Amino acid sequence: MSYRGQSWRTAPLTRVFAAAAEARVHETPVRPARRLKVKCSPPPEEPKPRCGGSGATEATTESQLPPAERLRGPSTDHGLRMEVMASLFKRFVRMKERLVIGLAAFTIAFTILIVMDLQLDLGYSGHHLLPSHGRLKMAEDPQRDTVYNNFRRKFLQRLNTSKEIISGSGSEPTSVTPTAVEIAKNSRLRTTSSSHSHDDFADLREYVELAEGVAVESSIVRPSAESSEDNPTIAEVKHLKLGSNSTLLEKFHLQIRRQELYPKGSQLVEDLLHFMAIQPIYHASEKSGGTQLKLVIDYTNKMQALFKPMRFPREQQTLPNHFYFTDYERHNAEIAAFHLDRLLGFRRCMPVTGRLLNMTTEIYQVTDSDILKTFFVSPAGNLCFHGKCSYYCDTGHAICGSPDTLEGSFAAFLPSKSAIPRKVWRHPWRRSYHKRLKAQWETESDYCNLVKELPPYNEGRRLLDIIDMSIFDFLTGNMDRHHYETFKIFGNETFTLHLDNGRGFGKPFHDEISCLSPLLQCCIIRQTTLDTLLT
């Protein structure tokens, strides 16, 4: 039996057992060549075996081996064994190398898969870190001794009747969101059964009151440092005078002061609200900027208002699985926010009123072709339109009348940017606007110390204004405070406008403590704001 036609891998073994096989060779019938499988991939170190050949049989006997092969004795067998061992050892080493490379490749691929899963929320890893629609929590350990946690422990342990109440008696969350009216009824039933005495928050007052000998800079309650003398109007700064034919809105613009939009008890505000609610609409066009559809409403005598339409019933709360940034805006939130801002004595919100519109005569017939193209009649026979905007302007998010009556908010228009420019500031406590990522302030409880170092927060009123705004947003439940604006002509020593409050009042029975983070992390509050809140 010859090894010449065998694979190079089996050739040495053939040689070892050649002699033992010799006897059987004579008995074994010669196999035809076509039955033998001949491999034609020789090892580099051996001579190339004959492939195919002339078609003659490959069966050879030991007598046909070269003489040197035949003459090999026991020492030759030993050598062969060594050769076999060496060959096996080489194979083992190669296999080991391949195994190591394979394992390394698998580990890398697995790591990439896990990272991708966590980033893209594919769900293969079983959401160990965070449920995809879970609410982002304050990252601090609640037991840590921080300003935020101390405040929580000391003052927020009171019985909180305004906590979210799940409808029904069981604690099982229902899939249907209860309406605000249902919850209010439920809540009233519970509260009337036990009488509550008024809490004057004496312990809180004592804690925060400016103690004798304590420097103002290190106190919690800060007196309003604004000088009442340094409070000019736009008219004074720009040297403008009212004309005999000035509109209500022009009058309003010119009386805006460095420290507030309008004075306490302003009759002009009442007149403006009334005007916007009843005057005929001359023209409606889409307002650019922002994510939601808004219309600029022109009245007959150059008066303007910013219209935000009602999108769903006013009782509809924010859906539990919706983030603040996927929530729709509520026209009634804009209206209520204006009233709350006025009640709190801030006066930083433009006057806003509600109004019922006839969509056919007050929008469709007075608007431009851009919006006209988006009008349609819904299957329910209601007149709808969606306009053009960055996120919520498509058929699925259309604004529909009943059948063509539409409710909305009308905000007095700000002075034109060309006449009175505004500066847009990124809010230092802006949220991440991402379903898993956290903003820096959510992970660092001493974040305020960073902010305090930066202008304009390092001096003057700005930080106190940001804290006022956080209290305002906490009361309205607005988590959508990404930017704020100021009037440039007043420099940095001016109030921050309270614009864009449409995402408030979505969860009227839930207290979103994170809205208060500027207050809790900086631990300072304007004296007048605290007085207003506690009295």
413 touches, from ligand ATP, Mn ion, none (C-beta below 5 to 8 Å by class): ligand ATP
Q: Which is nearer to Mn ion, 5 or 502 (CB)?
A: 502
Positions in 499-518 near Mn ion (CB under 5 A): 500, 502
Which position's Cβ is nearest Mn ion? Answer: 500
Say if residues 466 and 408 touch (Cβ distance below 8 Å): no
414 binds, among ligand ATP, Mn ion, none (CB under 5 to 8 A by kind): ligand ATP
How far CA 6 is from CA of 68, 70, 97, 99, 422, in Å, comes to 20, 19, 27, 28, 89
> Which tokens hold the place of 297?
């409403």
> 277 with 261: CB under 8 angstroms?
no
Q: Torsion angle of alpha carbons 441, 442, 443, 446, nearest 10°?
A: 40
- The CB-of-234 to ligand ATP minimum distance in angstroms stands at 15
According to the binding rule CB under 5 A, does residue 334 interact with Mn ion?
no
The verdict on whether residue 83 carries a ligand-binding annotation is no
Residue burial 471-504, b: 16+ Cβ < 10 Å; e: rest:
bbbbbbbbbbbeebebbebbeebbbbbbbbbbbb
Contact partner at residue 409 from ligand ATP, Mn ion, none, CB < 5 to 8 Å by partner kind: none
Which residue in the list 203, 480, 511, 531 is annotated as catalytic? 480
Return the axis-axis angle of helices 462-476 and 527-534, rounded to nearest 10°.
Answer: 20
For binding to ligand ATP (CB under 6 A), which residues are involved?
A: 289-292, 294, 306, 329, 350, 411, 413-414, 480, 485, 499-500, 502
Query: Is 350 in contact with 276 (CB distance < 8 Å)?
Result: no
Sole window of 54-62, 217-225, 393-401, 498-506 interacting with Mn ion (rule: CB under 5 A): 498-506
Our CB check for ligand ATP shows the closer of 55 and 289 to be: 289
- Ranked by CB distance to ligand ATP, the top (closest) residue is 290
475 binds, among ligand ATP, Mn ion, none (CB under 5 to 8 A by kind): none
Q: Which residues contact 207 (CB under 8 A, 6 or more apart)?
A: 154, 220
Name the minimum Å distance from CB 215 to Mn ion.
40
Query: Do the annotations mark residue 412 as ligand-binding?
Result: yes
Confirm if 225 and 528 have CB atoms less than 8 A apart: no
Residue 437 structure tokens: 């990522």
Cβ-based nearer residue to ligand ATP, 307 or 509: 307
Q: Tell me the closest approach of the beta carbon of residue 410 to ligand ATP, in angstroms.
A: 9
The 3-state secondary structure of 113-156 reads HHHHHHHHCCCCCCCCCCCCCCCCCCCCCCCCCCHHHHHHHHHC
SS3 248: helix
Give the nearest distance from C-beta 482 to Mn ion in angstroms.
Answer: 9
To the question of whether residue 452 is assigned a binding role by annotation, the answer is no
Partner interacting with residue 289 (select from ligand ATP, Mn ion, none; CB below 5-8 Å by kind): ligand ATP
Output 430 or 452, the one with its CB closest to ligand ATP: 430
Closest CA to 179 of 315, 376, 72: 315
Q: Which does 499 bind (CB under 5 to 8 A by kind): Mn ion, ligand ATP, none?
A: ligand ATP
Nearest distance, CB of residue 410 and Mn ion, angstroms: 16
Report the C-alpha gap between 446 and 112 in whole angstroms: 34
Q: Is 292 annotated as a binding residue?
A: yes
- Interacting residues of 120 by C-beta distance below 8 A, sequence separation 6+: none
Name the strand (E) or helix (H) holding 97: helix 74-120
Task: Tell me if 497 sits within 8 A of 435, measured CB to CB.
Answer: no
485 is in an annotated binding site: yes
Which one, 222 or 481, has the nearer CB to ligand ATP?
481
Q: Judged by CB, which is closer to Mn ion: 227, or 390?
A: 390
Was 414 annotated as part of a binding site? yes
Binding mask 448-487 for Mn ion (x = CB under 5 A): ----------------------------------------
Amino acid at 489: I
- Distance between CA atoms of residues 535 and 522, nearest Å: 23
Interface stretch with Mn ion, choices 43-51, 400-408, 469-477, 497-505 (CB under 5 A): 497-505
- Answer yes or no: is 69 a known binding residue: no
Of the candidates 471, 221, 434, the one whose C-alpha atom is nearest the C-alpha of residue 343 is 471
**Region label for 470, one of left (φ > 0), alpha (ψ between -120 and 50) or beta (otherwise):** alpha
In the complex, the smallest distance separating the C-beta of residue 480 from Mn ion, rounded to whole angstroms, is 6
Q: For ligand ATP, which is the closer residue by CB, 6 or 486?
A: 486
Q: Which does 415 bind (CB under 5 to 8 A by kind): ligand ATP, Mn ion, none?
A: none
Does residue 327 have an active-site annotation?
no
Q: Which is nearer to ligand ATP, 208 or 297 (CB)?
A: 297
Q: Mind telling me the catalytic residues?
A: 480
Annotated binding residues for ATP, written as ranges, equal: 292, 308, 329, 411-414, 485, 500
Which residues of this chain interact with Mn ion, rule CB under 5 A?
500, 502
The binding site for Mn(2+) comprises 329, 500
Instruction: Specify binding-site residues.
Output: 292, 308, 329, 411-414, 485, 500
